[in-house]
Amino acid sequence: MKSTQIPQFISLLFFIPLLIYADEAEEYMEPMKIGNFALSFSQQPGPLVSFGQNVILQGITQLYLFGDAFIGKQNYQTDLIPNVIYGITDDFSIFLNVPFSPGNKNGDFHSSGLEDVFAQLEYAFYTEGSLDAIQQATIVGNVTFPTGSSSKNPPTGIGSCSFFIGATYMYMKTDWFFFTSPGVVLTTERHRTKAGNQVLYQFGLGRNIPSPCGWIFAWQIEFDGEYSWKSKFKGSTNRNSGGNVIYITPSFWASSEKLIFQLGAGYPAVQHLNGKQSKKFLSVVFNFGIAF
């Protein structure tokens, strides 16, 4: 995709979910409190590694600790991300993240430290429910600040601000749920150095597992695609950058009225990288949260 096509892509990105909203929405109806709906909206199953779907009820605060590890041959990357979500209204939330890497490796080189902090807003412009189903479409946007280091090897940041814009759509039944989330990351240039822009294309599905009273158990599988353009370093194109990767990540969900726990492991089913880049072969991901 050429850079001149990015505005057209963004237009298409929002045109698709707006089609869902073309008809006047019916009055919202609460589903029966069974299966995936046994707990309040903020405690119902959602993605582990895909972006968005973080809209929660007004006044609710959720604190999370997210962690992942990407492991390859002679390389690995780790992240610990404390974050907080706050429901500004029932349809609008803010999501703040402070990523930190305990350790990274690329060949003989090691690094660790603070990564790029980001703040994200999400607005649910469409929500509709019935006795056995709910669907919601949202717009997501965030700003990432260059608090990490682009000079470390491996780097813990991209060295400049970046901007993300995307959309999500979720459809959930008593037993099954489905979601999709396309988006774009637009990076900025600093000192003639610029990380490549990215297109994210994600979707997933899952199913409720019979659960004890007061809990929701579920399994899900996510397909997370990321296409990246080549980066520039001091005005020259880095041929060993960019490409296309699709991770498949099955995971387990458990939640109560106050707690959320997710655990999953992913594998890159597609990994077409430009030039000479270290490939990754496995990811391990967890997320633990508590609601107030």
Tell me, rounded to whole angstroms, the distance of Cα 271 from its chain centroid.
Answer: 19
Confidence of residue 281 (pLDDT cuts 50, 70, 90): confident
Distance CA 196, CA 34 (A): 45
Which amino acid, one-letter code, is at 172? M
Ranges of beta strands (E only) in 46-132 are 61-72, 75-89, 92-97, 100-106, 109-114, 118-129
Distance CA 15, CA 219 (A): 31
CB atoms within 10 A of CB 58: 12
Mean pLDDT of 239-250: 96
pLDDT at residue 5 above 80? no
* Residue among 146, 157, 280, 290 nearest 226 (CA): 280
Confidence of residue 234 (pLDDT cuts 50, 70, 90): confident
pLDDT digits (tens, 9 = 90+) for 245-273: 999 999 999 999 999 999 999 999 999 99
pLDDT at residue 227 above 80? yes
pLDDT on residue 28? 60
- Considering the segment(s) 3-17+41-291 as one domain, its CATH architecture is Beta Barrel (2.40)
Which amino acid, one-letter code, is at 269? A
pLDDT on residue 23? 45
CB 93 within 8 A of CB 138: no
